Amino acid sequence: MEYKALLFCLIASILITPLVKKIALKIGATDQPNHRKVHKNVMPRLGGLAIYLSFALGILFFFPNSDYTWPVLIGATIIIITGVLDDLMELSAKVKLGGQLLATLVVVFGGVQVDFINLPFGGQIEFGYLSIPITILWIVGITNAINLIDGLDGLAAGVSAIALLTISGMAITMGNVFVVFAGLMMLGSTLGFLVYNFYPAKIFMGDTGALFLGFMISVLALLGFKNVTLFSFIIPIIILGVPISDTLFAIVRRVIHRKPLSAPDKSHLHHCLLNLGYSHPESVLMIYAVSSLFSLAAVIFSQATMYGAVIVIAMVLLMIEMIVEMTGLIGKNYKPILNMIKGPKQK
């Protein structure tokens, strides 16, 4: 039944996306090229609406009676409305954040929150009053992290698809039926859209899609790993290693250069790969590969002993550091490990 749901949403997305493209062009929801953008032509956006509609049809048809269905669907609808308005008229950062917070509060009060974490040596940490703030911070943070990596054709959709596949697969082993169904339906909807979004893209997902994907991934990750062990709580962080790392280092860059945190730049991971001479599709495929490595690390981590888990974390952190240094994600001169490997310069 789960795979029928995936196939249903995949086909629905393939059929709905061209209709959304026509609507976007008709109402002027287009992305204009500028000095920050990679594309050179006017492109229809709003593609995220196709992902949302496909998912909504799927979950209402296959899984309408779950306790989480309506809170998640209502929250997602608020996110979609926020994204559509932004794609049409470019909302201010405060208004967009307000929409995200409203959507997050809907799912939080619908039962999506982390109440406690079981410790590996026994006992647990009760979050108490901090439960809601922690949950809000997670959902809003991941929502914006996916939005930040939406810079190349097929990038955000592909990275999201890898994360959704991993979350769904792990939910199957944990017996979490809602996350399995919702995750696979989101996967099918995203892959159907990716048919039109991979390079050269015929339509962009826009903030409509990036915010929706980030919101749904953050919610499903919480539902899949809530109230679990301290180490298991790290799993969704590893799965989302690419968008989380890219966001954190964007913050570091802006702090170093004393720029506002909301200030845009062209130093994200995909920009760095392009600057190194890789082509548009090569850069996207390389980031797919890195995302897949993070997901594989998360799966290994979930099955490892405590000491094995520590080793996996160390390897993941080393991989992130090497990517940062090799791509110049913080700065071209930041290469402590690479410089140490090369040894002191000869005079």
- The pLDDT tens digits for 314-334 are 999 999 999 988 988 877 778
Q: Of 35-39, 113-117, 238-242, 313-317, which range is least confident?
A: 35-39
Q: What is the mean pLDDT of the chain?
A: 87
Is 207 annotated as contributing to ligand binding?
Answer: yes
Provide the 10 A C-beta neighbour count for residue 306. Answer: 10
Calculate mean pLDDT across residues 194-206.
Answer: 94
Question: Which residue's entry shows tokens 């919702």?
Answer: 182
DSSP summary character for residue 119:
-
What is the reported pLDDT for 118? 63
Q: Of 146, 207, 178, 177, give the one whose Cα is nearest residue 70.
A: 178
More confident residue, 16 or 256: 16
50-64, 113-127, 267-281 — most confident range: 50-64
Q: Of 23, 72, 67, give the one whose Cα is nearest residue 49.
A: 23
Q: Are 270 and 324 in contact (CB under 8 A)?
A: no
What is the reported pLDDT for 120? 56
- Tokens standing for 255? 């702090």
What is the reported pLDDT for 150? 86
What is the reported pLDDT for 82? 96
Q: Are 287 and 155 in contact (CB under 8 A)?
A: yes
DSSP summary character for residue 128:
G
Q: Are 276 and 327 in contact (CB under 8 A)?
A: yes
Calculate mean pLDDT across residues 223-248.
Answer: 78
What is the reported pLDDT for 121? 55
Per residue in 267-278, pLDDT tens?
788 888 988 999
Q: Name beta bridge partners: 31.
A: 43
Is 41 annotated as contributing to ligand binding?
Answer: no
109-123, 201-215, 255-269 — most confident range: 201-215
Whole-prediction pTM: 0.90
- The CA distances from residue 108 to 7, 76, 139, 222, 328, in Å, are 29, 12, 10, 11, 38
Name the strand (E) or helix (H) holding 201: none
Tell me: pLDDT of 38 over 90. Answer: no
Place 248 in a pLDDT band, splitting at 50, 70 and 90: confident
Compute, in degrees rounded to 10, the torsion defined by CA atoms 322, 324, 330, 336: 0
